[in-house]
Structure 1
Amino acid sequence: MQTKLNTHKILTKKIILHIPHSSTKIPIMEGFVVDEAALKQEIGKLTDWFTDDLFYSASDEMIIADFSRIFCDPERFTDDSLEIMAQYGMGVLYEKNDDGKRIRTVTPDLRERILRNYYRKHHERFNRAVNEQLQLHGKVIIIDCHSFPNHPLKRDLDQNSNRPDFNIGTDPFHTPQQLTDVSVDFFNRLGYSLGVNRPYSGSIVPMDYYQNNKNVQTIMLEVNRKLYLKEGSTEKSDNYSEIKRITNEFIKTIKTCW
């Protein structure tokens, strides 16, 4: 019986895949001051296209936001004083687009309704998934799953035009050196260029555990969209299946860090 229980615990170890920016849905149009064409253009620019499929893993826990980041960004702090992008009008609820033009007016009432019905519900699911793995194994590994454009957006803090094929983001408290080393070795062996916290940095941890539980570990993986989309479009390229295979192998490799 003891052997069976131990085997069960091994089989239920799951990486948590956090996928915040793959959706294009705008659940509530209230507050938006631009037309559908302008919104569609911004969604095309900022969506992490197909990351819900690129990072798909049947054996792991996938926490996918079912609303566009243009509507509500689950990776932003709700406290604007803590969120660096809030100064650009792109805090948890975007009010400006990448060009700095106003796209939405957010009243206090609208803000509270969106945070309550979308942001907090998303993070409740995220917290439950983390807590479940902690209860089962005393440890959890999160992969924060993203893609990024090959050319900097106007609001990007890093404007270096020489962007890598992949990027990993780390957190000084929640990312052990082993996760970084394994990731760097993985992409070196494949011959792809890799940024470490470049062009984007950090990796998400639920606020309940942020900077207070080192057993909640995290690393971000971002894929340069030039690798899997046709140039200048949001359509899959012929290389899509290969990049999906690589992200799947990366997930398996990170599992070896248990």
Structure 2
Amino acid sequence: MSRAAAPFELLPGAGDSPVILHVPHSAREIPPGVRAGILLDDTALARELDHITDAHTAALADLAAEAASVKPWRFVNRLSRLVIDPERFPDAREEMLAVGMGAVYTRTTDRRPLRPADTDPQPLLRRYFHPYARAMTAAVADRLAATGRAVVLDVHSYPTARLPYELHGDGPRPPICLGTDSFHTPPELVALAREAFAGFGGTGVDSPFSGAYVPLEFYGTQQRVTALMVEIRRDTYMTEPGGAAGPGLTLLASALAALVDAVT
């Protein structure tokens, strides 16, 4: 985890595609300076990364982009969410602060200390969170200018068994969970996703995770920006926790490509 990595990457798609596949939690990379502020030893950190990382979701987005009739754009976080979580609110609006998992985590998935409780999040927010947010905002604005709309499809995965940090993990855990936003997720988008993933044994909505990522500049104000979170239960495509991908990855990529084509 000492190798230098770009914080994030925008991978171009077709000029007439409104779709951005957003992959925020697929990486395990932690810069050395950030690692120094983490309390876990190497063994415990590797175990935590196994649980918290949405493993293979960047590869899933890559496969789907290549399979789609009109290639979507991809915005990929190249650093672990243990550096910053780009999908959290960076302020008191974030409900996950209750378990030490705001934009800068201070607790692990099993609620043990990850960083000192009095850690000042601002240096990490300035170095990593705000540049990420600005770049994602620019990517969405570019799709709006080019096509008149933007569709953000968030690509996530989640564990088969509930982890202690989950605030709403007592509900159903279907193979595919679709997270929605009351303003940015039209019913038609949910219907298209249900159709695309119909072959995976069940598609639920907003359980165990809800919401969909939209840059704050457009959040709650710009209806031409639509969004959907696709949460894939990990046993459908990989060995848990943190293991290799299986044949389910290719099947899921085909389904995601079908969703991209449908919304394009």
Q: Above 0.5 in TM-score?
A: yes
Say whether 1:21 aligns with 2:33.
no
| Corresponding residue number in structure 2 for 1:68 | 80
- Does the CA-based 8 Å contact 2:238-2:246 persist in structure 1? yes
Count residues in correspondence.
Answer: 242
* Among 219, 226, 248, the residue aligned to 2:228: 219
RMSD: 1.8
Go from structure 1 to structure 2 and tell me whether the alpha carbon gap of 1:232 and 1:66 turns closer, same or farther (over 3 Å shift).
Answer: closer
Query: Residue 143 of structure 1 aligns to a residue in which SS?
Result: strand
**Structural mapping, 1:8-157, within 5 Å:** 12-27=16-31, 28-56=34-62, 57-58=65-66, 59-79=71-91, 81-105=92-116, 107-108=119-120, 111-157=121-167
In the TM superposition, residue 231 of structure 1 has moved relative to its aligned partner by: 4.8
- Does the CA-based 8 Å contact 2:60-2:252 persist in structure 1? yes
- Does the CA-based 8 Å contact 2:137-2:217 persist in structure 1? yes
- Does the CA-based 8 Å contact 2:28-2:53 persist in structure 1? yes
In the TM superposition, residue 11 of structure 1 has moved relative to its aligned partner by: 5.2
- Does the CA-based 8 Å contact 2:171-2:207 persist in structure 1? no
In the TM superposition, residue 121 of structure 1 has moved relative to its aligned partner by: 1.3
Go from structure 1 to structure 2 and tell me whether the alpha carbon gap of 1:50 and 1:191 turns closer, same or farther (over 3 Å shift).
Answer: closer
Query: Higher relative contact order by CA 8 Å / sep ≥ 6: 1 or 2?
Result: 2
Query: Residue 35 of structure 2 aligns to a residue in which SS?
Result: coil
Go from structure 1 to structure 2 and tell me whether the alpha carbon gap of 1:191 and 1:51 turns closer, same or farther (over 3 Å shift).
Answer: closer
Query: Residue 229 of structure 2 aligns to a residue in which SS?
Result: strand
Where in structure 1 are there 5+ consecutive unaligned residues?
A: 1-9
Instruction: State the AA in 1 paired with 2:262.
Output: T
Instruction: State the AA in 1 paired with 2:209.
Output: Y
**1: CA distance between counterparts of 2:237 and 2:49?**
18
Give 1 or 2 for the bigger CA radius of gyration: 1
C-alpha deviations, 1:5-61, integer Å up to 9, x for none?
Answer: xxxxx9522301111000101112232122111111111001000101112215221
Instruction: State the AA in 1 paired with 2:114.
Output: I
- Does the CA-based 8 Å contact 1:152-1:161 persist in structure 2? no
C-alpha deviations, 1:115-172, integer Å up to 9, x for none?
Answer: 1121111111111111111112221111011011111111112333752111111100
C-alpha deviations, 1:168-193, integer Å up to 9, x for none?
Answer: 111001111110122223333x2520
TM-score (norm 1): 0.88
- Does the CA-based 8 Å contact 2:196-2:258 persist in structure 1? no
**2: CA distance between counterparts of 1:232 and 1:213?**
38
| Corresponding residue number in structure 2 for 1:251 | 260
Instruction: State the AA in 2 paired with 1:153.
Output: L
